[in-house]
Amino acid sequence: MNEKLLSVTEAESIIASRLLHFPPHGVPLDQALGSVLAEQVLAERDQPPFARVTMDGIAIAHSAFAAGKRRFPIQGTQAAGATPSSLGATDGCIEVMTGAVLPAGCDTVIAVERIRVEDGAAILEEGYRPDPGQFIHRQGSDYHQGSALLEPGTRIGVPEIAILAANGKARVQVACSPHITVISTGDEVVGIDQPVLPHQIRQSNSHAILAALAAAGHHHNNSLHLMDAPDALRKHLSAALEQSQVLILSGGVSKGKFDFVPGILEELGVEKHVHRVAQRPGKPMWFGTRGTDQMVFALPGNPVSTLICLHRFVLPALAASLGSAAHTPRKVQLTESASCPGTLAVFLPVTLASGPSGQLLGKPRQTNTSGDFCSLAGTHGFVELPAEQAVFPAGYTASFYPWAG
């Protein structure tokens, strides 16, 4: 009897219901890049914390200009970082630098290009009319003290590092990234630095998986290669389960005579939840858990299948386990029609471009087989075409999954 295939949505839902949850820990700010924030970050104080000058020039009381004043005696200089000064006589001015505190008594800044200085006074350019309040970044106009700036689940990038630093977060709480072991299998696979025989192929899947993990902020990883021998598989998989919270395997999960991985994982106490999904490529994908603190993803060994299953299921599951905010897939319009069998969802690689109205366009890139990973070069990711439809015309809108970011 044929085993019923799970739909992509069913597989995704099953995986989502069995995610791990990793506790947060504190790290120095310079180690937080790429991590998932595990705390709410509030504004330490108003931003800007004072009325900030945004242009080199002079600061005046606009009422003096309104009263007909065009020549302003210079009373002093206010540099950025200097103790705030005050305007004495209201018909005078203070020289100010970009980033300085607006001197007390002043409410308008005039750019240095609009004045000339003679005999200790700033004289306005003839005909120039400054607007009240110009070139001043008002205190609290960005946000006020106590405002929520960053929420738990935010992936920490360069802008987030700047926000954390500006608000005194020398140490930040982030989700603890799991220890992941990446395992490639197959007698035909040899290392990238080893002699290769005509009947062998070089190991690529594990390198691609490790690169994708690192790009997604997962750095506690190691890898190994195992031959298709039950005793060796059992021994090394058992050891990997003792050392890692997440296992990601490639190869050995289909229905062939040497596809030992699913059976051995179950022997070792990993409960199967997903095996065989109605999708192309990647139909043999397998997912299981051991207890409540380990996840195992066993992906098909063909490189295109491996990469697509990794980006469609594994990386989103890891992100969710870390508490990362969920991302709704972007929508792209196909630039060309595509025909697919109506019984399987199809993941189709695409290259992206912008349309004349700003819409995101996806140009399909067909692969010869699920082993033709060279065809992925230059693509930006893949779209998901549902199983319920066989023909997808140009202009069809599909969900897009990127290779990175």
Residue with tokens 């630039």: 335
Residue 229 in this model has a pLDDT that exceeds 50 = yes
Encoding tokens for residue 26?
A: 């504190």
Residue 219 in this model has a pLDDT that exceeds 60 = yes
The predicted-structure confidence for 265-281, as pLDDT tens digits, reads as follows 999 999 999 999 999 99
Contact 286, 275 (CB under 8 A): yes
Q: What topology is assigned to 330-402 in CATH?
A: Beta-clip (2.40.340)
Percent of the chain surpassing pLDDT 90: 78
Beta strand pairing call for 295-299 and 246-250: parallel
The predicted-structure confidence for 140-194, as pLDDT tens digits, reads as follows 999 999 999 999 999 999 999 999 999 999 999 999 989 999 999 987 777 778 7
Q: Which residues contact 154 (CB under 8 A, 6 or more apart)?
A: 36, 37, 160, 325
The C-alpha atoms of residue 380 and residue 67 are separated, in whole angstroms, by 62
Residues of the chain with CATH 2.170.190.11: 52-134
The predicted-structure confidence for 236-260, as pLDDT tens digits, reads as follows 999 999 999 999 999 988 887 878 9
Residue 99 in this model has a pLDDT that exceeds 90 = yes
Residue 2 in this model has a pLDDT that exceeds 60 = no
Q: Which residues contact 112 (CB under 8 A, 6 or more apart)?
A: 55, 56, 57, 58
The predicted-structure confidence for 107-129, as pLDDT tens digits, reads as follows 999 999 999 999 999 999 999 99
Q: What topology is assigned to 29-47+142-175 in CATH?
A: Molybdopterin biosynthesis moea protein, domain 2 (3.90.105)
May I ask the CATH class of domain 8-22+177-321? alpha beta
Residue 8 in this model has a pLDDT that exceeds 90 = yes
The predicted-structure confidence for 34-92, as pLDDT tens digits, reads as follows 899 999 999 999 999 999 999 999 999 999 999 999 999 999 999 999 999 999 999 99
3-state secondary structure of 286: strand
User: In which band, very low, low, confident or very high, does the pLDDT at 1 lie, cut at 50, 70 and 90?
Assistant: very low
The C-alpha atoms of residue 270 and residue 276 are separated, in whole angstroms, by 16
Q: What is the pLDDT of residue 228?
A: 87
Q: What is the DSSP letter of 112?
A: G
Between 379 and 341, the more confident residue is 379
Q: What is the pLDDT of residue 386?
A: 94
Residues of the chain with CATH 3.40.980.10: 8-22+177-321
Closest CA to 321 of 180, 215, 184, 212: 180
**In this structure, what are the phi and psi dihedrals at residue 327, rounded to the nearest 5 degrees?**
-115, 130
Contact 98, 82 (CB under 8 A): no
Q: What topology is assigned to 52-134 in CATH?
A: Molybdopterin biosynthesis moeA protein; domain 3 (2.170.190)
Q: pTM of the entire structure?
A: 0.83
Q: What is the pLDDT of residue 325?
A: 81
**In this structure, what are the phi and psi dihedrals at residue 303, rounded to the nearest 5 degrees?**
-60, -40
User: In which band, very low, low, confident or very high, does the pLDDT at 22 lie, cut at 50, 70 and 90?
Assistant: confident
Concatenated DSSP letters for 332-399? Answer: EEESS-EE--TTSEEEEEEEEEE-TTS-EEEEE---SSTT-GGGGTT--EEEEE-TT-SEE-TT-EEE
Q: Report the mean per-residue pLDDT for the chain.
A: 93
Strand partners, 381: 350, 402
Residues of the chain with CATH 2.40.340.10: 330-402
Between 165 and 199, the more confident residue is 165
Q: What is the pLDDT of residue 204?
A: 81
User: In which band, very low, low, confident or very high, does the pLDDT at 196 lie, cut at 50, 70 and 90?
Assistant: confident
Residue 358 in this model has a pLDDT that exceeds 90 = no
